[in-house]
Amino acid sequence: MGQYSIKIPDWPEDERPRERMLKHGTDALSEAELLAIVLRTGNGKNSAVDLARHILNKYNGLRGLDGQSIEELLSIKGIGLAKAAQIKAALEIAKRLAAQKWRVQDRLQSSEDVYRIIHLRMRDLGREEFRVLFLTARHEILAEKKLFEGSLMESVVSPREIILTAVQQSAASVVLLHNHPSGDPSPSPQDKNVTTKIVKACRYVDIQVLDHIIIGKDSYYSFADHGLLSA
């Protein structure tokens, strides 16, 4: 006869994730226990903690889990639309909180500041995305806009849209952003050509391109740091 997992409500109170969190704080919980609180229930045979451990093992931790689609999560026994949505929402809240922690501090002063704000939301994307940060004259963030998805091409990237949005936001400068799903942030010749085109167009209307940052898996490339923003 196979063994059956004991349900969490039957655990001693000081071992239940939710009760432990309320008593000792979130720092006392493992990643599996935190995920179990998000899931709330298991899959009938296994507890929420067992299901959380299985998910984290399957995707090599929270970062791997973050990269999965709703469709992929639905392939796991015990994960329906509600649980899949809860997982994606919790991970997105964490990423937005990380960005807000930097935004409320001093204005952007370096490529590293930008990387810290944006990398959690761009480093594991399966497709290339091109985004722009619109900044004040003091380099404070006014807005962030995703302009398109797909390979960076001169025929697709429109300096006009960047300039129009900058005017609407009363932005004095911009930071260009895109990711390389391969994980290598080194710029391609096409990346350099597109950057030069945008810098020239923005210069005509007194909008400064402060940087173009390419996000890799665990690193980034800054055009400004490498002296590649002259046009």
Q: Are 199 and 231 in contact (CB under 8 A)?
A: yes
Question: Of 58-72, 175-189, 201-215, where does mean pLDDT reach its minimum?
Answer: 58-72
Rounded Cα–Cα distance for residues 20 and 3 (Å): 26
Q: Which pairs from 86-94 meet CB under 8 Å and 24+ separation?
A: 86/38, 86/39, 86/40, 87/35, 87/38, 87/39, 90/38, 91/62, 91/65, 91/66, 94/120
Q: What is the pLDDT of residue 100?
A: 67
Instruction: Select from 107, 67, 134, 138 the least CA-distant residue to 147.
Output: 134
Q: Which residues pair with 214 in a beta bridge?
A: 178, 221
Q: What is the pLDDT of residue 84?
A: 93
pLDDT band at 5 (very low <50, low <70, confident <90, very high): very low
Predicted TM-score of the model (pTM):
0.64
Q: What are phi and psi of 128, to 5 degrees?
A: -70, 140
Which whole-number Å values give the CA distances from 37 to 65, 84, 141, 224, in the listed order?
16, 13, 34, 43
Locate CATH 1.10.150 in the chain. 8-99
Residue whose structure tokens are 């594991």: 124
Q: What is the pLDDT of residue 15?
A: 54
Q: What is the pLDDT of residue 148?
A: 83
Give 8-99's CATH code, choosing from 3.30.70, 1.10.150, 1.10.287, 1.10.357.
Answer: 1.10.150
pLDDT band at 14 (very low <50, low <70, confident <90, very high): very low
Q: In whole numbers, what is the pLDDT of the chain averaged over residues?
A: 84
**3-state class of 204 per DSSP?**
helix
Q: Are 23 and 15 in contact (CB under 8 A)?
A: no
**Tens digit of pLDDT for each residue in 19-57?**
888 887 878 888 888 898 899 888 877 888 889 999 999
Q: What is the pLDDT of residue 12?
A: 39
**Tens digit of pLDDT for each residue in 114-167?**
998 888 888 888 889 999 999 999 898 888 888 888 776 655 778 999 999 999
Give the pair of three-digit tokens for residue 6: 């004991």
Q: What is the pLDDT of residue 46?
A: 82
Query: What's the CATH fold of domain 107-222?
Result: Cytidine Deaminase; domain 2 (3.40.140)
Locate CATH 3.40.140.10 in the chain. 107-222
**Tens digit of pLDDT for each residue in 71-106?**
999 999 999 999 999 999 998 888 787 766 655 445
Q: What is the pLDDT of residue 133?
A: 93
Cβ count within 10 A of residue 61: 11
